[in-house]
Amino acid sequence: MGRRIEVELTSSRDDGSWTWRAAGARQPKGDLDGSLLYEGAKIGDVVRVEADFHLDGIEVVEVFAPKGKKERTDLLELKTRPLRDDELVTTQRVGRGDRRGGRGRRGDRPGRRDQGDSGRKRPRSAAPPRPKPKRLRPRRVHRDALLATVTEEHRPIVEQVVRDGMPGVRAAIERQNSEAKQAGKPEIDAAPILAIAEQHLNQARLAEWRDRADAALADAAELDLRDLRSVVVVGGDVARDDESRGIADQLKQVLDERMESDHSQWLADLRASVLEGRVVRALRLSSRPVKAGAPLPTELASELAQQASKALAADVEQSRWATVLDALAFSPVRGAVTPVGVPAEPKEELLGEVRRLSDRLPAIAGLFGIDPADVPKSAKRRRRPSRGKSDKKREGAKGRKSESGPKRSPKREASAETAAAAKPEAETSPAPTPEPAPEPEAETSPAPTPEPAPEPEAETSPAPTPEPAPEPEAETSPAPTPEPAPEPGVAAESAKPIVTAGDEQE
């Protein structure tokens, strides 16, 4: 696939080819055919080119001429007239107390109620929300240093290894060979390219890990634990020298400290949510511990189970029921929760949520008369959110287009139907007997239907045998469609090959 880059023309050769390099850099560089250049091209021009990046080099396929300076023609000329002194704009400074019509401060407006009387059901925590953890954004210091030590001929291969690994190199070779085959060019030999890639594979993996490790150490206090864990896990396989092992040990120590601090903060947030009565938030927090398998404190787990049981009462809204069940399904206290009551007339939305979570909440599902073993797998999948009107319209248009299908002429439809009718009869017919000959004629002849023009069929088909068998033919032959009768010439042409096939069978 081509890519556009900016290059600088550096020199011209006697054979008509030109050399180039990347604009403002020494690499990459190469040569191009002089016939691709525009008229008036000279050394030092910076142009945009369309280039194909292959493992064995860069090929320029198109050169775009530099655009000249464009003159603006859409500007309007502003014409003024001389102004008198009394027509000039005057300004007058206004004091700070006179602004906004003298309404004063924002909190002194009449009619504003106190924030304490906002009518909230429960007090919220006054602690500010914690900042969102940073994601890992490594630089390319070590990878660029590795590419600088590689020869120019091997650089595209090593870049592919750094970017996608060995699977990416094999995919690039297959893609380039398929393009060469379509263009009628010889395919490249994959063995030496794969050998070069495998030679630099360990160095590429180490350089990539070093970039990630440096970024993790720089933001160790604010980095997401998932990214920090991934760097530590990969370091155990990649670190071979003493320097890399030292960085890996440092990352392990940082990870242990972060897990201890984050686990303490997780317990503090969970206790605060339970004290404030925020059941759903507490249940979701309990299902996402920092340390995998870490048990909850006994008192905290008991209090959370009691609050969850009270939240599942008969007088609670069914939408609230579904929300609490979804949060409870992955909480470690789900086995200790017993609903205070069940809605007398549960709606289908609530029953569908109970069926979906029946494997994780079998006791609660039994209160609704639902057995998890009887629930199909399709009902246990999470439903996707409803889509917008534009997506539905697009799907409806696509369905109508597929249902309509390509239009065919009546002549093609008639020939296709007769050929399709003749094929199953030829396959299902028994040993050669004198009866099969008139059977295909009965399918193609319009005698059984009230459609006009039966004479051309009778003229082209031989006389039927005195043993008619309409019932077996009606069972094996497809039902006639209410399409318009084909032209006489079409029926004759479609009947001839069927009669010939019957004669060959006889």
Give 414-463 pLDDT, tens digit per residue: 444 444 444 444 344 444 444 444 444 434 334 444 444 444 443 433 44
For residue 96, the 8-state DSSP code is G
Residue ending a domain, among 46, 64, 82, is 64
**290 and 207 in one domain?**
no
The pLDDT of residue 100 is 54
The pLDDT of residue 214 is 92
The pLDDT of residue 505 is 40
Regarding pTM above 0.75, the answer is: no
**53 and 21 in one domain?**
yes
Q: Per the domain annotation, does 336 fall within a domain?
A: yes
Q: Is 107 exposed, middle or buried (0-12, 13-18, 19+ CB in 10 A)?
A: exposed
Residue ending a domain, among 196, 228, 261, is 261
Q: What's the total number of domains in the chain?
A: 4
Q: From CA 397, how far away is CA 51, in angstroms rounded?
A: 39
The pLDDT of residue 21 is 85
Report residue 353 as tokens.
């949520």
CATH code for position 23: 2.40.50.140
Report yes or no: 357 and 365 within 8 Å, Cβ to Cβ. yes
Residue 322 lies in domain: 277-380
**249 and 159 in one domain?**
yes
**285 and 257 in one domain?**
no
The pLDDT of residue 454 is 42
Q: Point out the residues of the chain with pLDDT beneath 50.
A: 104, 107-120, 126, 401-506
**251 and 282 in one domain?**
no
The pLDDT of residue 6 is 85
Q: Per the domain annotation, does 357 fall within a domain?
A: yes
The pLDDT of residue 272 is 92
∠110-116-122 over CA atoms, to 5°? 145
Q: From CA 173, how far away is CA 179, in angstroms rounded?
A: 10
Which residue type is seen at 467? E
Q: Per the domain annotation, does 77 fall within a domain?
A: no
The pLDDT of residue 475 is 42
**369 and 296 in one domain?**
yes
Q: Per the domain annotation, does 212 fall within a domain?
A: yes
The pLDDT of residue 317 is 92
**293 and 235 in one domain?**
no
Q: Per the domain annotation, does 252 fall within a domain?
A: yes
The pLDDT of residue 411 is 43
Report residue 389 as tokens.
């009107």
The pLDDT of residue 394 is 57
Which residue type is seen at 469? A
**372 and 297 in one domain?**
yes
